[in-house]
């Protein structure tokens, strides 16, 4: 679709994440641990961490296919992997993600496989074998811009959608940079929610050993809470 691609005729990274989240939601519904099953039980899914490796970007009018599966339990996290295929059935993006199952009242995490031991996981199947780790900031980070969470950023859970944070990260770079570079790998940690009217500050830094590997973070202006952190490796 025209609004799924950027000015360089490449599918936007935040759109790919949106598609992956839709596929995850549909798969969870099919397996009876999705929104319609868990909300009445006072449970909700929260995306905590993700990594994506990009091999090729779909263009306008390209046909794509997404495969996703619940992989395994790692500590408190339910791991889920993704594969994105082009029309030739070639893998063009690989992803893995760590989800927390949260009690809506206590806000404490629950372990999916303890609550529902009958759920089948695909532990032997890896799109990526990476597991969530803490993201370490670069030593020197420069202020990039200030933005505010608007009505159009809010999703069903009453806070900014994770894909919106990827959009904020992409906006740390100008059009000329995007014209000559594409993301090779992205690691992102979603640390705190953002609600309507929250003001968010964006910062970025460069790794000394690799000038095309950048650190990006977002902070809530009023609370100083870290909203998200990302490590972006560019081509």
**What is the per-residue pLDDT across 169-194, written as a single tens digit (0 to 9) for each?**
999 999 999 999 999 999 999 999 99
| Residues 13 and 69 reside in one and the same domain | yes
Q: What is the per-residue pLDDT across 187-233, written as a single tens digit (0 to 9) for each?
A: 999 999 999 999 999 999 999 889 999 999 999 999 999 999 999 99
Last residue of a domain, one of 115, 130, 152: 115
Q: How many CB atoms lie within 10 A of CB 101?
A: 22
Q: What range defines the domain where residue 100 resides?
A: 2-115
Residue 93 lies inside a defined structural domain of this protein: yes
Nearest CA to 160 out of 235, 95, 228 is that of 228
Q: Report yes or no on 178 lying in a domain.
A: yes
- Asked whether the beta carbons of 45 and 215 are under 8 A apart, the reply is no
Task: Provide the domain count of the chain.
Answer: 2
Same domain, 109 and 152: no
């Amino acid at each position: 679709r025209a609004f799924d691609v950027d000015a360089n005729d490449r599918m936007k990274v935040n759109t790919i994440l949106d598609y992956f989240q839709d596929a995850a939601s549909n798969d969870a519904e099919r397996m009876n641990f999705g929104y319609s099953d868990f909300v009445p039980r006072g449970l909700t899914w929260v995306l905590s961490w993700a990594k994506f490796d990009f091999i090729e970007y779909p263009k306008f009018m390209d046909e794509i296919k997404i495969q996703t599966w619940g992989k395994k339990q790692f500590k408190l996290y339910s791991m889920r992997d993704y594969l994105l295929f082009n029309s030739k059935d070639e893998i063009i993006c690989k992803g893995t993600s760590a989800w927390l199952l949260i009690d809506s009242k206590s806000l404490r995490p629950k372990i999916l496989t303890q609550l529902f031991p009958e759920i089948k996981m695909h532990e032997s199947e890896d799109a990526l074998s990476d597991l969530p780790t803490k993201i370490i900031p670069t030593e020197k980070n420069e202020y990039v811009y200030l933005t505010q969470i608007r009505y159009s950023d809010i999703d069903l859970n009453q806070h900014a959608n994770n894909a919106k944070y990827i959009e904020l990260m992409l906006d740390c770079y100008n059009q000329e940079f995007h014209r000559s570079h594409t993301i090779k790998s992205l690691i992102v940690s979603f640390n705190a929610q953002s609600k309507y009217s929250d003001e968010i500050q964006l910062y970025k830094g460069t790794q000394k050993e690799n000038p095309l590997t950048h650190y990006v973070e977002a902070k809530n202006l009023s609370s100083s809470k870290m909203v998200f952190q990302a490590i972006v490796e560019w081509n």
